[in-house]
Structures are given as C-alpha cells and as structure tokens.
Chains A and B, each alone.
Chain A
C-alpha cells in the first residue's frame, strides 16, 4: 500500500505541481511531465464527452437550447447528434417551450466527470477534477484503499495552504512551503501504515 506521486493540473492543462513520495521510481523529466499533463488534459476533455449510457446522453450540453447549438455547429460538437436525440426525447414527454426546459433543469443529471480511474498492473491512477477545472492525479499502488479519502484531504490542503496564501498567483506553479510540509507529513503517515 503506497502512494507514489501527486500531480496537479490547472484548468488550462498546465502542470502546476508534481511530487513523488516513493523511493525507487524512474525519474521523469520536467519536459515529459509537462507533455503528460497536457495530454492527460486533452484525454480527460474527450472522455467527458463520451457516454455509452442512453438515458444519460447529452448531459454535457446546455439545458434548453441544445437543438439550435447542434444544428448550427454539428461538427464542432462531438456529442452533437446524441444530445439532439436526448433533447427530442425530453420534448416528447412534456410540452414545448419554457415548460420543457424547466422540467429538464429540474432533472438535469450531474455533468459527466470524465476519466476517473486508470488501472494498470503496476499502479492505479485516480483523477479528481474540481468544479473549477483543476485536476488532481494521485498515483497509487493497485491495492491502495480509501484513495477517495486521501484525495479529499489533499484537496483540503490545497484549498487551505495554496488558495489562502496571498503570495500564490492563480494558475501558476505551486511553490508553498507550508503545502509541501503538510502534504509530505500526511502522505508519509499513510505510506508508513
């Protein structure tokens, strides 16, 4: 049971924090890490639009004006045709116009969160995207339990020691001693368990 590394990606796909917590890992160059962050950002954006479930289709689009969006720009909208059909289905049940959009607003499902877990035979990567689009990637052992909880604590610490720091500039690399220290002692505690 080990936590290997943490990566934080800002909402533009830039790498703002990376740290490893385990000895004996292969070194990744900064350049590769930057490419990795950007690539993951793109993959995550695509996975957020892919949705195999029929009843949840089109959840990523806006509530009322889906028909017009997809008809004017179908090519710029990967999920265009599917969201179109979902909107039509919703319209069939209720009446047209404002009543329909209100009904849809009421039962609008959570927006799709995209890629959440990636598991290989050597490690497990958990992704947590905040509401503002910052992404936390936690690389752990495949047997690691309670990663959700760990992720939550890491997010708490980010909110406390990075966002409340007057010297941190938004979207820029995180250089906060306090964050490093608290994160280090928390992860060490987990890894020594």
Chain B
C-alpha cells in the first residue's frame, strides 16, 4: 500500500528502486537483454516468421489478402516502436518527426537500425509528377526474407509486407497516415547482385501533403 498509494510522498522517499532506478533509466530505455550489441538468433526469428506467414496464409483467398494480413500483423509493432524509440532519444530531441522528410529519415535510420541492425539502403521520392505523394524506402536484402523463396505461382507476393506494416504503423503513429506496400524489384537472373531487393512504397494521404504545403509556406 505504501508503495502504490500517495504518489508524491512515496516517490520522493523512494527515488531508487526498480521503477525509478538511480540513473533515471527505466526498463523502457534499453533492451531487455542488457548489452547494447546483444543480438537475437536469426534462426529462431526465421522459424517464427515462417510460422507467421503460414498462419496468415490460412483461410485467405488471394495474395493481396495475404499481404494485407501480414501488414496488419506489423502495424501495431510500428505504432509502439515509434513511442519507444522516441522515448529513448535524448530529452531535447524527443519530439515526433514533423515533416515527411524527417519522418522518412527517422524510419530509414532509427527504426531500421533498431530492427535490423543497419540502415535502409536508399530513400527516394517518386519521380513521377502524377504521384508526388509517393516515397520509396529501398532495402537490398530484407532480413525477413533471408530464407524465403516465394513459389512461382505467387510471384507478386513479398513477405516483407510485414515490414511494410511496421512502417505504416510508424507513419500512422506520427500522424502521417499512409499506405505502405512492399514490392520485389530484384531480377531473377543468375548473377543478379540483389535478387531480393525490395522497395517499400509509402503513399501518404492527401491531407498530409496539404498540411506539408501549408507548413512550407509559413
């Protein structure tokens, strides 16, 4: 009772402890396994992700529906990851990204490094004047697809739709509502440098661009 109740008195008396450690870092400030470089088993993740794909494949009629389900599995991760990563930033840069470019850089650098241990390979804006709302994040070798060979009859499928869902969650959480899809662009020929090259197409809602234009003027 004394621990939970009467907020101010208790917290000032017990500044240290599990909830308020002496260095001010809570359990949200670092990964559960203590060291910063500690990595997880890729084999374990591969088996887990493989089962996730199999699970998503149940009772679906088409490839688009399958991708939609993988996307939905990733979406809540992105929402929460945005909050977590911002919390871990130093206090003065703890604001959410306010422009499209800042948001995409945050995804390319912070989110990618947290999830995959490296940055995304490229960031592009659509060169097509008809689609100024489209941006592309390029990953030459998505970690989730490391062991996946998609059968020929499902060639449009890219299981990185899961990662697209995470990106979509980050965008939605930062109040930049968007649709994100994953597309394979690597060639199938022998000797291709990046056969698994994937483009994440980020298509923002019109109101986002409207706001961006207004901010640019002001």
Contacts and interface: CB of A to CB of B under 8 A. Distances in A.
A166 B159 CA distance: 10
A155 interface: no
Interface of A: 160-161, 164-167, 175-179, 181, 184
B151 interface: yes
Contacts of B46: 160, 164
B147 A167 contact: no
Interface of B: 43, 46-47, 49-51, 53-54, 57, 147-151, 154, 159, 188, 190, 195
Nearest to A179: B149
Contacts of B51: 166
A160 B46 CA distance: 9
12 contacts: A161-B149, A164-B50, A164-B148, A165-B149, A166-B159, A167-B53, A167-B154, A175-B151, A177-B188, A177-B195, A178-B147, A181-B190
A67 B57 CA distance: 50
A179 to B, nearest CB: 7
A181 B195 contact: yes
A166 B46 CA distance: 9
Given A160-B147, A178-B148, A166 B43 contact: no
Contacts of B151: 167, 175
A164 B51 CA distance: 9
A178 B142 CA distance: 14
Contacts of B150: 167, 177
A160 B150 CA distance: 15
**8 pairs of A and B residues whose beta carbons are closest in the complex:** A164-B147, A166-B53, A176-B149, A166-B50, A178-B149, A164-B46, A177-B149, A166-B54
